[in-house]
Amino acid sequence: MSLLNEFESLDDEVKELLQNYKHKKATIYEPCTLINYRECLIGLGEELGLLNINFVFNPHIDLEDNVLRPDALVKLINAVWTLFHYYKNVSEKSESLLEQNHILEQNNNQLNGMLGKVKNKLCSEKNESKACVAAAQRIADNSDVMLHKLTETNVKLTKVTKQKETCERTLKNEITRLKLENEKLLDRIPHPVVKGVTVIYVPARTMGTSKRLKITVVGDGMVGKTCLLYVYTRGEFPEEYVPTTDCFLVCYSVGSRSSFENVIHKWYPELKHFSQAVPMVLVATKIDLRSANSQTEITTQEGKKLRKKIRAVQLVECSALERLNMDEVFQEAVRAALKKKHVNKRTCNYL
């Protein structure tokens, strides 16, 4: 309604004509005649303004002796041409919209067809779903039966497991009892009582056999016989003396010349008298006490000479304190004993 601002400067007569046009437009359409043409031109300008077509009719300017001036006529013709082109564009757009509407109708028909197919498919799937539900119900019923059977099986399995555990405990207790009885019987086996003799039972599993051998370790007092056996069997140095005998291990301390001399003068004659067929392993103990400048300590060369004199199968130098060559001592003893047992088929005594 911005065009109304252009009529503010007009006289009351023009304003009255415009108001009359608007009043008539609101009631009924009235054709243009020679009588009301001025009012119609004013109304035409108003209508064209609504379409953004610039045409404003002013009777005081555009009319001359009640005749339309040429420049006003040009404005009117241009406005009509503009209105014509506007109508043409609207018509083309209308045709385009009609064509698009036709395409949309076709697409709508296709969509309706596809929708029908989807509905049919949904019905089919619904029927299949009902069949699946029925199958699932049957499976659930079967699962209940299987669950009941599984529960019964678990109860039986629990009962069998408890029976097995009871049997295992009984068997374990029986094994423990038999071991204790076996140890008591072993304690009742008579052994020779000789001063300076230590007896220990050693399994020969390190040589690939399960035979049980009796080893007798002899030597002067305080040469380390008990510590030697204690470290081998328990893997640690003893805090207190624990006396403990199937073969002879002849021991001397490298720090005691008297214990070394007693091997040839005391222990060798006594052991040969006791059992001439038993192999001997000569063991030099406490080598951790050996130093380079000591004149009283027994050297390795002296030990080798002594081994030849008493015909020992091997010389092994060891240290119970430093856990040095502990396994080698008993490996040599077991090796010599097994070799003798293979020849004589009887029990060996380890020196």
Mean pLDDT throughout 289-297? 71
Mean pLDDT lowest among 5-9, 122-126, 138-142, 236-240: 5-9
Among 295, 114, 234, which Cα is nearest to 226's?
A: 234
Q: Per-residue confidence at 133, pLDDT binned at 50, 70, 90?
A: confident
Q: How do residues 75-106 score in pLDDT, each as one tens digit?
A: 777 777 677 677 677 777 888 888 888 898 88
Q: What is the residue-averaged pLDDT of the chain?
A: 75
pLDDT for the residue 239: 52
Q: Which domains does the chain have, with CATH numbers?
A: 2-68 (no CATH), 197-350 (3.40.50.300)
Half-sphere exposure of 351 (CA within 13 A, CB side): 31
Q: How do residues 319-344 score in pLDDT, each as one tens digit?
A: 988 889 999 998 898 888 888 766 66
CA distance linking residue 322 with residue 288, whole number of Å: 7
Residue 66, SS3 per DSSP: coil
Mean pLDDT throughout 297-302? 90
